[in-house]
Every structure is written in structure tokens, then in C-alpha cells.
């Protein structure tokens, strides 16, 4: 390429004191993927300064859009979630304000309370300058298509900001039915090996078939992990669109309401398939830091973005320079014009859309 790509990565995880303290109070297991302990993942999750910036430079990432590690505030008691989300977002905003050229952030949203969820999204966007929010599918047993979410979806549509969904562990009944009695691998299969993606992908389909995007046709959702499995079955699942009473073909929802990123899975096959299904004009970029940084068991090449791989993967993609720039940063800037306008800085406050 003639000019160096500017890469904005959208699924870059952190944990902060406000939410770690709340997780501890509520009895959440203190695991490394939630920032507890002294292992490399935990240390990297907690770091929002020198180590993270050095690793971004090593990856070749220019801007990281920070988000709380899954499941955000959505596993907290209702009594805690609203205040913790607010404190967490204030802490995120302070990190961004200290280094606005390298960081942006997705808001944490207390989905336990519909009115509080929409109010916190509004505050995060209009007062803190956030470009959108990160959601984690279910809240308790309430799935993403539950009518209680309508107030939040309406607010996101009105504010013209995207909602990035991230998976979390399936409900216990699914864990017991599909992932039990096979030893330690069961937990991995239920989670980031494959179970996460089926869990959230089915929720995307539920959102479509329950009419969420017909009620809110301008709602924009960011799907990580190359579309959470569903994208690879659209040619088949779309056959059943009539039975679901869809107003338009199933694939149209993914081309009009969804944006797709790879979450650090550097597979050229997935990249090409995603481009063929939704087009490079609906693709974004992410590395899923720190969960894909510096880990290559047995030489497995597809989930390590360190040593410049995050950059070379995109630079070497079979696309034109214009398409690469779209994926790297321009699609993100088009999707979030208020938050990514270089003339304003996070925390200044923004007018309503």
C-alpha cells in the first residue's frame, strides 16, 4: 500500500476498579478473564497506559475502542448495576480524555433497568462523547429480543450510535445439556471455543424474526467474531424467512443493520467469506485484545495478533487499498461521525442527534 493504514480496533477489552469491586461484592468468580490475579491476561486487562500502548504499537493498531470484559455490568444485581455502570463509564471517559488520539470507548449499559439503560446510553453519548455501547446478549434469562430492550434500541436509533454485542456464557441448562461430562474442555467449548457464538448468533436471529429491526429500521448492531456463526449459514437459514414472516430477505438485515468484525481471528477464509456476504462496506476491524495477544499454542496461527499480525493480516488482504481503508477506519468513522469527528474531544459533550 502507498499510504500506511490507520487502524481502529473495536473490541479491545479492559477491566476497571469500579466494576472489579462490584464483581467481588456480588460473588462473581475472580477469574483472570475478569482481571483478577497476576497472569498476563489479567495484567493486560487492567492496564490502560504504557503496556497497552506498547502492545497496540506491536500489533500495529492506532486507536483502540475500549470495552469492559464480558459480561460487563449485566451479571450484577439490579441494585448495583446502574451506579456501577455510571462509575465505570466515568472511569472509561477519563482514560480516553487522557489519551484521545489512541483511545475511544464503548459505554457499559445497565440493561437490568430499561429506563436506566437508555438514560445511561444518552449520558455516555451526549455528555461523555462515547461512540456507542457494548452489550452482552442476555441479562439473566432475558434475551436480546425481549421487548424490555425496546427503549434502549429506540434510544440508540435516535442518538444514531451503534450497539456492539459481545457473547457471554450460555445459561446453565445449555451448559449442562451440551458441555458437561467431557472434562475441562467443556467450559472452553461452552465459551470462547464455540458456545459463545451460537448463543449470541441465535439471539441475533431472534432480534430479526421478532421484528426489532422492523420497529427500529435504523438501529445499527456490530457483530464480532465474523458474525457469530450465523453469517456462515445465511444461505440456508434465509430459506425459512417466509415462515418467520420477515418483511425482507434475511440477508438484507445483515447488509442494512449489521456491521461485522473479526475479533482477532486472523483467518483469511473468514475474511473473504464475510466480504462476500455483507461487503467490505459493512466490515469493521477488531483484535479482541488481550485474548488474542501473544498466544499461539502448538503454533496455531489464527488467534494471535501480536508481532504486527493485526496490521499485516489486513494489509495483505485480497482487497483494494480503498476497501482496506474502509475496513481499517473509514467505515467506523462513517458509522460514528459525531464521536470520531477530529474537531471534538471526548468529554466535551455533544448536542442531541
Q: What is the pLDDT along the chain (353 residues), one digit of tens a residue?
A: 458 999 999 999 999 999 999 999 999 999 999 999 999 999 999 999 999 999 999 999 999 999 999 999 999 999 899 999 999 999 999 999 999 999 999 999 999 999 999 999 999 999 999 999 999 999 999 999 999 999 999 999 999 999 999 999 999 999 999 999 999 999 999 999 999 999 999 999 999 999 999 999 999 999 999 999 999 999 999 998 888 999 899 999 999 999 999 999 999 999 999 999 999 999 999 999 999 998 877 778 899 999 999 999 999 999 999 999 999 999 999 999 977 654 444 444 332 32
Count how many domains the chain has: 1
| Residue 288 annotated in active site | yes
Cβ-proximal residues to 237 (8 Å cutoff; 6+ apart), any chain: 205, 230, 250
Residue 80 lies in a domain: yes
pLDDT of residue 84: 97
Residue 345 lies in a domain: no
The catalytic residue among 62, 80, 199, 288 is 288
Collapsing DSSP states into helix, strand and coil, what is residue 49?
Answer: coil
Report the distance separating Cα 31 and Cα 19, nearest Å. 13
Which range marks the domain in which residue 190 is found? 8-336
Residue 1 lies in a domain: no
Task: List, in sequence order, every residue forming a beta bridge with 142; answer none if it has no partner.
Answer: 139
Residue 36 lies in a domain: yes
Residue 25 lies in a domain: yes
Task: List, in sequence order, every residue forming a beta bridge with 165; answer none if it has no partner.
Answer: 135, 223
Angle at 157 between CA 242 and CA 227, to 5 degrees: 55
pLDDT of residue 338: 75
C-beta separation of 200 from 228 below 8 A: yes
Residue 344 lies in a domain: no
Q: Which set of grid coordinates corresponds to residue 39?
A: 497472569
The Cα-based distances of 220 to 33, 154, 185, 299, 335 in angstroms read 28, 11, 35, 37, 9
The Cα-based distances of 13 to 34, 48, 290 in angstroms read 10, 10, 7
Are β-strands 163-165 and 221-223 bridged in parallel, bridged antiparallel, or unpaired?
parallel
Q: Which set of grid coordinates corresponds to residue 225?
A: 467474531
Residue 353 lies in a domain: no
Report the candidate in 45, 56, 49, 48 with the shortest Cα–Cα distance to residue 23.
45
Q: What is the full DSSP assignment across 142-211?
A: B-TT-GGGHHHHHHHHHHT--EEE---PPPHHHHHHHSSSSTTHHHHIIIIITHHHHHHHHHHHHHHHTT
Report the distance separating Cα 192 and Cα 204, nearest Å. 17
Q: What is the CATH number of the domain that holds 296?
A: 3.20.20.140
Q: Which set of grid coordinates corresponds to residue 292?
A: 488474542
Angle at 299 between CA 293 and CA 300, to 5 degrees: 70
Residue 184 lies in a domain: yes
Amino acid at each position: 500500500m502507498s499510504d500506511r493504514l490507520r487502524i481502529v480496533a473495536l473490541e479491545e477489552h479492559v477491566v476497571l476498579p469500579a466494576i472489579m469491586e462490584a464483581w467481588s461484592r456480588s460473588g462473581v468468580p475472580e477469574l483472570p478473564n475478569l482481571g483478577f490475579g497476576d497472569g498476563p491476561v489479567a495484567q493486560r486487562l487492567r492496564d490502560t497506559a504504557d503496556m497497552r500502548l506498547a502492545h497496540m504499537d506491536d500489533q500495529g493498531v492506532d486507536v483502540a475502542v475500549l470495552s469492559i470484559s464480558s459480561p460487563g455490568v449485566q451479571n450484577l444485581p439490579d441494585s448495583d448495576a446502574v451506579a456501577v455502570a455510571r462509575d465505570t463509564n466515568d472511569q472509561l471517559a477519563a482514560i480516553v480524555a487522557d489519551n484521545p488520539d489512541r483511545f475511544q470507548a464503548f459505554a457499559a449499559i445497565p440493561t437490568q433497568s430499561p429506563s436506566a439503560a437508555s438514560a445511561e446510553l444518552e449520558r455516555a453519548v451526549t455528555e461523555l462523547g462515547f461512540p456507542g455501547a457494548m452489550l452482552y446478549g442476555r441479562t439473566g434469562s432475558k434475551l436480546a429480543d425481549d421487548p424490555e430492550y425496546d427503549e434502549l434500541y429506540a434510544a440508540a436509533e435516535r442518538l444514531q450510535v451503534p450497539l456492539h454485542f459481545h457473547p457471554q456464557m450460555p445459561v446453565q441448562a445449555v451448559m449442562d445439556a451440551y458441555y458437561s461430562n467431557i472434562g475441562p474442555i467443556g467450559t472452553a467449548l461452552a465459551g470462547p471455543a464455540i458456545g459463545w457464538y451460537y448463543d449470541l448468533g441465535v439471539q441475533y436471529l431472534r432480534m430479526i424474526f421478532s421484528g426489532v429491526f422492523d420497529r427500529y429500521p435504523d438501529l445499527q448492531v456490530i457483530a464480532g467474531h465474523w458474525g457469530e456463526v450465523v453469517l456462515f449459514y445465511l444461505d440456508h437459514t434465509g430459506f425459512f424467512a417466509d415462515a418467520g414472516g420477515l418483511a425482507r430477505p434475511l440477508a438484507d438485515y445483515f447488509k442494512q443493520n449489521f456491521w461485522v468484525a473479526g475479533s482477532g481471528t486472523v483467518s483469511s477464509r473468514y475474511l473473504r467469506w464475510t466480504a462476500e456476504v455483507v461487503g467490505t462496506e459493512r466490515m469493521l476491524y477488531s483484535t479482541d485484545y488481550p485474548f488474542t495477544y501473544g498466544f499461539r499454542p502448538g503454533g496455531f496461527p489464527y488467534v494471535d495478533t501480536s508481532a504486527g499480525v493485526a496490521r499485516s493480516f489486513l494489509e495483505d488482504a485480497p482487497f483494494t487499498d480503498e476497501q482496506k481503508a474502509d475496513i481499517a477506519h473509514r467505515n467506523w468513522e462513517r458509522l460514528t461521525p459525531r464521536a470520531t469527528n477530529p474537531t471534538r474531544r471526548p468529554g466535551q459533550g455533544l448536542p442531541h442527534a
